[in-house]
Structure 1
């Protein structure tokens, strides 16, 4: 019995000693990241049968239990992933917001200064100073476009650098988790008796991994974890880790994409496949905001330059020549490959034909084995190239696509119509005498006319530039009262007449006389004139080449009017309005991400507090446990002391 009592005291003493060690371990790791509180689980030792019943033999420690809640940990990791993603997004987009919102460094002041220069030029077209001022303001405008785009490009380079850095960190964490999986598996004899401290280290690595990319953890055999990312790509399976790779895009060498490494093959993952974490935030920012802003800025630059060029070509410069291009416009950027197929000889070209229909989106062109399909990246809208082989360019959103050669399945191209629009914009004219302020035609009427008919000053459109339409001699229109018609229009050109009610009639080339009604507009060969009043029989009106029109400002006025015309976005916005929409988008998106980030941070704090309430170390609680185990230790020692005394009595009886 004495022996039994000694064993019972000893078991309690050992259990209390384990409790003290565990409590001390908790206290010393109160500030260790990822540490989960541990508790001692005791159970009654097997009793001995003594005829009159079972006599207890003390206690034993059954388990050092880790206070871990997988559900709460999953919530913390999800909140961490979302918070890190929004923080990374906000850090990047706030740079663009500050850039565009700056009233002195933004595009708006330069646009206003440029068109002020155009207006001054139209007010005094023969002035050398106003001409030079226009060239200077145009140069300042292109510099501002280039400066804004350059800053956006710097942000893009920074994103590339961070993507590469994040991929390396993710690979490092994956390797460390796999190594811990190996150690934990080797030390796990019984699933309930796992190495708690190693489990804490691994779970902390999973939490850290979620700061960079959303990672899903699933329990495996022998206390291992399987980690997957993206759309289910495994990152860690038992003792094996897989890698991501930062690789240059096949369609844009200046763009770093994330690939999944399988053997020696790197499969590029779509940007939307990797969500959450700072890596997901960077990818979402680049595709959702940075690309859009660069494209939108380029869209404004290209639309402004194209429409200004088109109007400038319709004027006469001081040398009497038709105007040329005022701006140099960059071509769309095309990147891609032929899938390394020896049978593919595809050649692709793209040209902007209608800047008013530009969407600011990129386009992906793929050959699926039967058709070439153009996919608009902003919304996924698909357009089939039909027919193929082409008989002529196919226009999609204001861009002419021309494809030739033999296609092979897998041919893949990315067309970026406006991405280089701001960076590549330049002023094409350096000679102020080549600024075309005058209109190429002049109208008049002999003083001998007796009626009150008046012919407008006239204008020309793009058709005037076609071969054979430019005036080389005077056109004389004669009014016949009997037929109420005008004659003398060029025999080789059709004439379109538009009345004040909006109705129009086209008369074929060679029509001898054209009926007249007051207020009619006449268009032929790119020339547009209108007539008011009532001419007398035999009255004549002339349309002639404009010679010596140094003070003529009609084309300059037309150039200045472009500032307030709704040219952009399908004829719904001005240049300033389209840029303002981009500024508004960035401002609203910045605020949206900021608010979402604050809400996500609050959720992270809440879930972390809930998780710590279960798994964290409470020093007050541990202090109470120290006293409890100390008292148990002392009491068990007393039991052993009594057992020793009783044993001495028994020994004494035998002497």
Structure 2
């Protein structure tokens, strides 16, 4: 048994070192493979046998191949991938918004200044044909600038929808691949084998999904990874993957997840990563800019029209709006249309230049939004219709719809002052705007002779031109800002958001790079270490071969003796 045992020990050592060299060679060949983790052989000896008074070993074997893995670093990588995905997603639309709300020489503020400067020039020569033409031209250019910005903001939202829709197939494919890898890993490891390569592939897919969706993952006892959205909705359960769907509703796009016969909205806290960043810009930041842009356009149209309608053109015309009047005037939202919000007071209403002011008796109050609408209808008759309308957020708004002025091809102008209206329960008085005013802003006046430069048609009367030119410096928006300064606030908000995004993006990228370097140092392939291991296994292989050669010579000697 002695020489046979030595021969077997040499054979197992030879095969073990050969297998170790193969594992090391695989590590070296995958040194540049993304997500690859270094693999190591696990050695164990064969059970020793009792031979006389001694236990003699029977050699060595590779009992397994393990991969280096650091749970802490892996979790940190997933967390930073989510943050980077969100900031990366915001960078492109924010860069576009910076272009739209430019702070250079040519922007909306420039057009507003030029518009009011044209009225100032008209005041120096109220009867001048050139000056009147320039006023109309500047009005057209200003309306076109508002239209362009409104369309650009819509394009930003549409581009975000296109991005989400285009990337959804890739996300669903990764979910399916993770479910497939779960099954492969479970099938392999249930037989006692290792699935190191499959685990590396799954970890890489998890990082990519975390970047896109901010998913969370939890291992189970069988070796599978269960994946869910940040809000808890499941995406992958063992070998089963669910699919996200893009549902188009008009111009809007929503993400939904079907679980059995139920469908769940995927938004808000249910999302993270890149998709969360994109939808945050689409659903929060851009709508805020649209609201402020519409508010600016609405106030500018209201203020200019109010003064222009009070003036007189060269042809004696009066009561003519300069810009197209809004079709609907919509207040801010209230929680209910029937709850009591207003205690009474004076309501100053002017429709088409005609006064419709009235007083709500405090003794008969308080009044609800519906009751306020009814009181306005009673006072204005056919000139104005007041209704309460439920908004998309579930609240109720007061909507004023003026009659259409066929002579001027425009809705009647509306001036509303509710500052004297008392309120209760912390409610605020209705303040009106038009949700799509910037997009619909257009000229109502085309005839230069109807430009109302004065309060009369007398030559040299420039009082109205001066009044409109003075709007340039009035705090007409929210009672706090001029039109130009309010635009400056919008541009500054975009600039600050973009700057913060760049800082956060750089910080997340640096942190991710550091973590990736830490991961490579801990579990990645080091060529120096692999070369050392290769030399060690080579020497072991050579020694094993020498052992076999020596035992062979000894066996030949024994056979010679017997002859």
| Fold shared, TM-score > 0.5 on shorter chain | yes
**1:172 and 1:591, CA in 2 relative to 1: closer, same or farther beyond 3 A?**
same
Q: Does structure 2 retain, via aligned residues, the 8 Å contact 1:245–1:266? A: no
Distance 2:339 2:523 in 1: 59
**1:163 and 1:417, CA in 2 relative to 1: closer, same or farther beyond 3 A?**
farther
For residues 251-271 of structure 1, the C-alpha deviation after alignment (integer angstroms, 9 at most, x for no partner) is: xx2122222222455432334
1:392 maps to 372
Q: Does structure 1 retain, via aligned residues, the 8 Å contact 2:312–2:453? A: yes
2:468 maps to 559
- 5 Å matches for 1:139-538? 139-189=140-190, 193-249=193-249, 253-263=250-260, 265-276=262-273, 278-330=274-326, 351-352=329-330, 390-393=370-373, 402-403=387-388, 412=394, 419-439=435-455
**1:372 and 1:649, CA in 2 relative to 1: closer, same or farther beyond 3 A?**
farther
Deviation at 1:636, TM superposition (A): 1.2
- 5 Å matches for 1:569-588? 570-588=478-496
- 5 Å matches for 1:11-26? 11-26=12-27
- 5 Å matches for 1:133-144? 133-144=134-145
Q: Does structure 1 retain, via aligned residues, the 8 Å contact 2:35–2:203? A: yes
Distance 2:219 2:126 in 1: 79
Distance 1:425 1:174 in 2: 47
Deviation at 1:558, TM superposition (A): 1.5
Deviation at 1:394, TM superposition (A): 10
For residues 312-360 of structure 1, the C-alpha deviation after alignment (integer angstroms, 9 at most, x for no partner) is: 222233344432222124556xxxxxxxxxxxxxxxxxx246xxxx8xx
After the TM superposition, which of the residue ranges 78-87 and 195-204 deviates more from structure 2?
78-87
1:36 maps to 37
Q: Does structure 2 retain, via aligned residues, the 8 Å contact 1:329–1:421? A: no
Distance 1:565 1:130 in 2: 23
Deviation at 1:578, TM superposition (A): 0.3
Question: What secondary structure is seen at the aligned counterpart in 2 of 1:227?
Answer: strand
Q: Does structure 1 retain, via aligned residues, the 8 Å contact 2:340–2:367? A: no
Distance 1:653 1:180 in 2: 61
For residues 624-643 of structure 1, the C-alpha deviation after alignment (integer angstroms, 9 at most, x for no partner) is: 11111111011112222222
**1:58 and 1:216, CA in 2 relative to 1: closer, same or farther beyond 3 A?**
same
Q: Does structure 2 retain, via aligned residues, the 8 Å contact 1:327–1:425? A: yes
Distance 2:174 2:396 in 1: 34
Question: What secondary structure is seen at the aligned counterpart in 2 of 1:423?
Answer: helix
Instruction: Report the structure number with the largest CA radius of gyration.
Output: 1
Question: What secondary structure is seen at the aligned counterpart in 1 of 2:372?
Answer: coil
Deviation at 1:165, TM superposition (A): 1.4
Distance 1:589 1:411 in 2: 25
Deviation at 1:646, TM superposition (A): 2.6
Deviation at 1:43, TM superposition (A): 1.8
For residues 589-613 of structure 1, the C-alpha deviation after alignment (integer angstroms, 9 at most, x for no partner) is: 1111111111111101000000111
1:632 maps to 540
**1:411 and 1:149, CA in 2 relative to 1: closer, same or farther beyond 3 A?**
closer
For residues 114-144 of structure 1, the C-alpha deviation after alignment (integer angstroms, 9 at most, x for no partner) is: 0011112233322222222111110011111
Distance 1:112 1:401 in 2: 35
Distance 1:141 1:266 in 2: 46
Question: What secondary structure is seen at the aligned counterpart in 2 of 1:63?
Answer: strand
Question: What secondary structure is seen at the aligned counterpart in 2 of 1:571?
Answer: coil
Distance 1:414 1:53 in 2: 94
Deviation at 1:186, TM superposition (A): 1.2
**1:607 and 1:394, CA in 2 relative to 1: closer, same or farther beyond 3 A?**
farther
Question: What secondary structure is seen at the aligned counterpart in 1 of 2:35?
Answer: coil
1:608 maps to 516
Deviation at 1:411, TM superposition (A): 9.5
Distance 1:308 1:389 in 2: 29
Distance 1:325 1:273 in 2: 49
TM-score of the two chains, using structure 1 as the length reference: 0.70
Question: What secondary structure is seen at the aligned counterpart in 2 of 1:328?
Answer: coil
2:406 maps to none
1:53 partnered with 2:54: yes
Q: Does structure 1 retain, via aligned residues, the 8 Å contact 2:98–2:491? A: yes
Q: Does structure 2 retain, via aligned residues, the 8 Å contact 1:389–1:404? A: no
For residues 85-126 of structure 1, the C-alpha deviation after alignment (integer angstroms, 9 at most, x for no partner) is: 212211220122133225243112111110011112233322
For residues 497-544 of structure 1, the C-alpha deviation after alignment (integer angstroms, 9 at most, x for no partner) is: xxxxxxxxxxxxxxxxxxxxxxxxxxxxxxxxxxxxxxxxxxxxxxxx
2:118 maps to 117
